[in-house]
Structure 1
Amino acid sequence: MSQYMSPIGGGTHHSDFRLSITKALGDQLAAALATLVAIPLTEENLNEGVDERPGVYQLYLDGEFVYVGKADKSLRDRLGQHLRKISGRRDIPLTRVTFSCLYVAEDFSALAPEQLLISHYKGKGGVPWNNNGFGNKDPGRQRDTTVLKEKHFDVAFPINLDVPVPGIEAGETTVGAFLGALKAGLPFVFRYEKLPSRLSGEVLDVDRADLTSDEAFRLVSATLPADWQITALRGYVIMYKETQEYRSAWRYYRAGAVVDVTPESIPEDAVDTPDLDE
């Protein structure tokens, strides 16, 4: 006869225990960030109040939490990239954007703390800008023809071609040098095909230093043959030797002429446009 007696109440003598370290870390990060006060995303606040250290950060639009990210090396630099990007967009003045940040040890960044936070917030409605292309850099030539979802960041807040381009100097220069200064100064991606030396070396007269992006593209376009095209897409600008139509384009510059078109968009659930956040 067995000497084993069942526990009173019919309980069991064994069970499973699962320790979710990642969930605990995400919860702790979120709790620490929740104690912080969000301040305006300005150069002054970044230069005076944010160290060049790794960490995680959160962005807010009109007080609503919209994005979480990480900086492997410098929070100041990464937030500065976002400031520059937003400054070149329509319908989103920087006065509407605030941020908070949390420094973390360098070895902790290997655990992808921003993903821990995204997972934490997933059950609370998610983080809208982490799934709409806000963090994307240059998507690459293969995605230039992509038609964007209605809720994509570039659809909600397209690039602003009326912003002045810093770094442009008045006077005589070459087309190649001007393109380099334009690419460096724009607050959005400008990708272009390398020009033949005869076109790159052509003299360009810049009448003033405060050119807007639109005026700069008009100036370049007027120097190029008709088979070269500058295309303003929702989130960036490209220049290639082509006459292709793009479904997400809203302005073309061709041999000095400017053509405005209505970009196409389709419902969010009708196309797969994976994020390329970095």
Structure 2
Amino acid sequence: MAPVVSPDDGTQYHKDFTLSITKALGDQLAAALDGLDRAPLTDRSIAALKEKPGVYQLYLNGSFVYVGKADRSLPARLRNHKRKISGRRRISLDEMAFSCLYVAEDFSALAPEQLLISHHKGMGDIPWNNNGFGNKDPGRQRDSTVLKRNHFDVLFPIDLDRPVEGLRAGETTLQELLEAVKVGLPYNFRYGKHDGFKSRYVTVPSESMTADQVFQLISAEIPDQWQITALMGYVIMYDDSPRTYKSAWRYYRGGQRIEDVPEADPAGFVETDPPMVGE
């Protein structure tokens, strides 16, 4: 609630009173979430949820790190987070938990997650709301950006030793393989177009290949001027070899893996995407 405000004339027998509805709602949401138990971020826990909109909180090793909302489906949004975290190093899904509240659809117009963010920011909570955790593909123009040391992608880089889901052993076109890898990884794989990819055939030796192994295979089949670059939060493939990127930590050229040391700026403000509509 806002304080009672004294009049400008200095008298004390009449005052203005302002009721802050949004602050009251934020406080009530925070109190309701704090009163809930926390469930592990697993398929089983998520499957028990209703397909309804709502707000949720994520916890890492018991510490509150993120607040978000789902306009349509809490399970869908939490599965997205689970998949993203599963593809990162220095963090495990065993360390993650969540709690959530269902809210009426028309309540989303009040931006309940922003009410919660405002409530917690003053207490130094929710570090992932300010470090790029919820960001999507930044686009080609941001590939050369140097990330802050407190950015989610710097703290928890992508895991290239993770198996690619859904691979099929045998002969396939390079284009089909690229599409399968993009779908089968829990982080973004963005690549340029080339007509030759549709007619170039490659042999996938096993359905149990890691991202690292698949990228070595692909890099041996693409033209010499192409390369695959592993940035801190995603992977790109373009005809720009031997260009280097400040946030890259591995390159794939001609079937070879080339290690690098990424740069990072001092910790500070991280630009975040606006809340997504849908799900």
TM-score relative to the length of structure 1: 0.92
| 1:9-47 CA distance string (max 9 Å, x none) | x95332222211110110010011011111110111111
C-alpha distance in 2 between matches for 1:242 and 1:276: 28
**Aligned twin of 1:252:** 251
Give 1:200 deviation, angstroms.
Answer: 2.7
**Aligned twin of 1:218:** 216
C-alpha distance in 2 between matches for 1:220 and 1:206: 10
Contact 1:150 1:265 in 2 (8 A): yes
| 1:180-234 CA distance string (max 9 Å, x none) | 11101100011111122x2332111011101111111111111011110110000
Mind listing any 5+ residue stretches in structure 2 that lack a counterpart?
1-9
Contact 2:173 2:201 in 1 (8 A): yes
**Aligned twin of 1:241:** 239
C-alpha distance in 2 between matches for 1:144 and 1:260: 18
Give the AA of the match of 1:74. S
The answer as to 2:261 corresponding to 1:262 is yes
Give the AA of the match of 1:36. L
SS at match of 1:235: coil
**Aligned twin of 1:30:** 30
C-alpha distance in 1 between matches for 2:206 and 2:11: 84
Mind listing any 5+ residue stretches in structure 1 that lack a counterpart?
1-9
C-alpha distance in 2 between matches for 1:21 and 1:191: 44
C-alpha distance in 1 between matches for 2:17 and 2:236: 54
Give 1:126 deviation, angstroms.
Answer: 2.9
SS at match of 1:268: coil
Contact 2:172 2:202 in 1 (8 A): yes
Query: Sequence identity, in percent?
Result: 60
Give the AA of the match of 2:255. G
C-alpha distance in 2 between matches for 1:33 and 1:237: 36
Contact 1:139 1:276 in 2 (8 A): no
C-alpha distance in 1 between matches for 2:174 and 2:212: 16
**Aligned twin of 2:74:** 75
C-alpha distance in 2 between matches for 1:98 and 1:239: 34
Please list every run of at least 4 consecutive aligned residues from structure 1 whose deviation after the TM superposition is greater than 4 angstroms: none
The answer as to 2:37 corresponding to 1:40 is no
Which is greater in Rg?
A: 1
Superposition RMSD on alpha carbons, in Å? 1.3
C-alpha distance in 1 between matches for 2:42 and 2:159: 19
Give 1:156 deviation, angstroms.
Answer: 0.5
Give 1:74 deviation, angstroms.
Answer: 0.4
C-alpha distance in 2 between matches for 1:273 and 1:95: 27
**Aligned twin of 1:162:** 161
Q: How many residues align?
A: 265
C-alpha distance in 1 between matches for 2:157 and 2:78: 20
Q: How does 1:78-227 map to 2 (within 5 A)?
A: 78-196=77-195, 198-227=196-225
Give 1:238 deviation, angstroms.
Answer: 0.6
The answer as to 2:273 corresponding to 1:276 is yes
Give 1:275 deviation, angstroms.
Answer: 1.1
C-alpha distance in 2 between matches for 1:219 and 1:102: 45
